[in-house]
Amino acid sequence: MLSALNAPGCRRHPWLLLLPKEEREGGGGSGGGVGQRQSQQRAGGGSSMPRAGCKSAGSWSKGTGGPEPGQISLVVFIGLLFTRFWFFSILYSIWWYLDQDKPRQGGRCSKALQSWVMWKHMRDYFPISLVKTAELDPSRNYLAGFHPQGIMAPGAFVNLCTESTGFSSLFPGIRPHLIMLPFWFRVPFFREYLMMGGLVTSDKESIAHILNRKGGGNLAAIIIGGAQEALNARPGAYTLLLRNRKGFIKLALLHGAALVPMFSFGENDLFDQVENSPGSWLRWIQDKLQKTTSFSFPLFHGRGIFQYSFGFIPYRQPITTVGSL
């Protein structure tokens, strides 16, 4: 039995079947894991991938076109340079340079921001709920594999980056961190907001920092399918990318962390997507763009403010996220 999967409430998961037999049974390394071979550079892919996180971890902010707050932050930063308050941008640039490693060192989570009332309104809009099926030992560190990506992954954000669904009450002593593309932590001002929400970069050093923290009680959550899986997100269907996404398992074994599966039912029901079946010209273009930019570009639509036929507001569909199966 692999020690990394022996924590209370974390039984051996079918994910392990993705690994070769010799790696499932351990390779002589400490803790009965995969020996001391270096884990995958990217948790979602093969050995040649450059980062430990999924290509677009945490899609609320990632490979689906990006969040508007990030764009606003960039405009404000540049705009200040052309006003009498230009020195604010200069001072922030200095701070930004001195603090550039913080997103890879666990960030700076703020319980005050995570407890904002507006997150409860966001929760109630869908609504979103979090279900616990087993206890997590706060003396251990955990690596959670989150499915599915969906279009914007509000289930991942609301449950792991806010207190609106009561994460700390359901899992006392556990501090969640949602993994996200490093690109967004280069956006001025917006990076501070992200870190206060508990988000960290998808660099392998960032995930290793969380999983190696002394005292336990840390959980790093990776949206396994990433940007590529967003292209399959449509109501009533769950098409998950797992076959070539083994790195997160090896990462857990390497650092002695327990694997925790999380599945968000209803995540794919929030938007309709233009038909882009594999082999179509649209899917070919989307795949090329995703491989080139690390972002996916699904053509989706939801509802409007005063009508339900078209718009970019997600449909009001319930999302139930089940953790620690």
Query: Exposure pattern of 177-199 as b/e (b: 16+ CB <10 Å)?
Result: bbbbbbbbbebbbbbbbbbbbbb
* pLDDT given for residue 192 in this prediction: 94
Helix (H) or strand (E) holding 37: none
Omega of the bond leading into 127 within 30 degrees of 0 (cis): yes
pLDDT digits (tens, 9 = 90+) for 23-51: 444 433 333 333 333 333 333 333 333 33
Question: What SS3 state is found at 129?
Answer: strand
| CB of 253 closer than 8 Å to CB of 2 | yes
Judge whether residue 119 has pLDDT over 50.
yes
Q: Calculate the average pLDDT of the chain.
A: 81
Average pLDDT over every residue of 104-117 = 93
* pLDDT category of residue 17 using cuts at 50, 70 and 90: very low
At position 206, the amino acid (one-letter code) is S
Pairwise CA distance, residues 67 & 64, whole Å: 9
Please state which of the ranges 89-103, 133-147, 266-280, 290-304 shows the lowest mean pLDDT: 290-304
* Phi/psi of residue 58, nearest 5 degrees: 70, 70
Is residue 26 within 8 Å of residue 34, measured between CB atoms?
A: yes
The amino acid occupying position 265 is F
User: Does the pLDDT value for residue 145 go beyond 60?
Assistant: yes
Token pair of 253 as six digits: 């074994």
Please state, in angstroms and rounded to a whole number, the distance separating the CA atoms of residues 227 and 224: 9
Quick: pLDDT tens for 232-284: 999 988 999 888 888 888 999 999 999 999 999 999 999 999 999 999 999 99
Asked whether 28 and 253 are in contact (CB, 8 A), the reply is no
- Kindly report whether the global pTM for this prediction surpasses the value 0.75: yes
Q: How confident is the model at residue 13 (pLDDT cuts 50, 70, 90)?
A: very low
The residues, any chain, with a CB within 8 Å of residue 167's CB and separated by 6 or more, are: 130, 159, 160, 174, 176
What percentage of the chain carries pLDDT values higher than 90? 63
Task: Take residue 287 and report the two structure tokens written for it.
Answer: 């795949």
**Predicted pLDDT of residue 65:** 38
